[in-house]
Amino acid sequence: MEEVLRVLPEGVKNIIKRYSNVERGGIEEIRIRINRPLEIIINGSPQFPQVDGREYFISREDASQITNKLSQYSLYALEEELKKGFVTIQGGHRVGLAGKVITLNGNVKAIRDIASFNVRIAKQKIGIATPLLSYLYSGGWMNTVILGPPNSGKTTLLRDLTRLMAEGYPKRSIASSKVGIVDERSEIAGCVHGIPQHQLGKRVDILDACPKAEGMMMMIRSMSPEILIVDEIGGAKESEAIIEAVNAGIHLVVTVHGSSIEDLYRRPSIQELIRSGMFKRIVELSRSSGPGTIKAVKDHKGNEIRRTKVI
């Protein structure tokens, strides 16, 4: 939370400081929009905190303070981030940006006149992948697909799984492995200047903001990982890289958008991967009882090994 407070303007900072520690722990998003009231989302419900009986309206001054602090007074240093529309700050938190978009030849060049900031608080849930250990590990890590609709906790689960793999799990005498992460959207590790902001263990190498297909090949060629972690695969090129990696004897853990295994069969590039049976485990997530509900763990033929349990 300290890292987040550092980029907020004084007025907003004082409001956040009024919340108790418990409430502060529940903050998911802080939404800042010029000329509109400050919105704080705590445990899924929006709140518009009041100062002196009025909602706190964000001034232009407040917004320029955030921009200055995010960029260390050097907007040009944020060029890449302004193109992608978010800035990752220390602690792995992420500030989404919206405003006037400048395009060049139909591609987004930058966001100018930033009018909305969405500070998303990153929460690492250490230990959520532990109950899955016995399904995903037997003598070695199995190639795994984590499947779920958006906001179902895929990346959070993937992050904790990465940590388990890189740190090992002495209680079950699982040794640590060299893990390579291709983190195209900087979400798994939340890197700042290439250094992961989440606790991922000491044996992790990250290609931050790298296109997935290319990144996987780079990892295989140069970093000799034992396990590769990739988020949200989909394209044909990525499937090729995955086949390459599996044939090189590397274990893979990937996530895919979709709500059931049938969805995967409908996507041509992924369908092949699943049918070939190279992924021995498929973890299905859903939002039915909040993010992170494990609907089922299936094997490569689609047979269920385990049923619904909330983590």
- From the number of C-beta atoms within 10 Å of its C-beta (0-12, 13-18, 19+), residue 107 rates as exposed
In the complex, what is the shortest distance from the CB of residue 205 to another protein, in angstroms, rounded to a whole number? 24
Q: Does 79 bind another protein (CB under 8 A)?
A: yes
Among 52, 54, 76, 104, binds another protein (CB under 8 A): 76
- 160 burial (CB, 10 Å; 0-12 / 13-18 / 19+) is buried
Exposure of 190 in the CB half-sphere (CA atoms within 13 A): 21
Query: Would you count residue 65 as binding another protein (CB under 8 A)?
Result: yes
Q: Does 73 bind another protein (CB under 8 A)?
A: yes
Does 71 participate in binding another protein (rule CB under 8 A)? yes
Residue 304 binds to another protein (criterion: CB under 8 A): no
What's the rounded Cα separation, in Å, for the pair 95 and 53?
A: 28
Residue 258, sorted as left (phi over 0), alpha (psi -120 to 50) or beta, turns out to be left
Q: Give the binding-site size for another protein (rule: CB under 8 A).
A: 15
Q: Does 68 bind another protein (CB under 8 A)?
A: yes
| Least distance to another protein, CB of residue 211, Å | 20
101 binds another protein (CB under 8 A): no
List CB contacts of 54: < 8 A, sequence separation 6 or more: none
Distance in Å, CB of 91 to another protein, minimum: 18
Q: How far is the CB of 274 from another protein (least distance, A)?
A: 42
Alpha carbons 251 and 246: distance in angstroms, whole number = 6
Contact between 115 and another protein per CB under 8 A? no
> Of these, 20, 21, 45, 72, which contacts another protein (CB under 8 A)?
72
Within 8 A by CB and 6+ apart from 66, the residues are 7, 8, 9, 32, 95, 117
Give the residue with the Cβ less far from another protein, 65 or 259. Answer: 65
Counting contacts by CB under 8 A, is residue 77 touching another protein?
Answer: yes
Using DSSP, how many helices (H) and how many strands (E) does the chain show? Answer: 11, 16
> From the CB of 57, what's the least distance to another protein, in Å?
19
Shortest separation between residue 10's beta carbon and another protein, angstroms: 10
Closer residue to another protein in complex, CB, 21/74: 74
User: Using a CB cutoff of 8 Å and minimum separation of 24, what contacts does 34-38 make?
Assistant: 34/58, 34/59, 34/60, 34/62, 34/63, 34/115, 34/116, 35/59, 35/60, 38/12
Between 54 and 73, whose beta carbon lies closer to another protein?
A: 73
Chain residues binding another protein by CB under 8 A are: 61, 64-65, 68-69, 71-77, 79, 82, 110
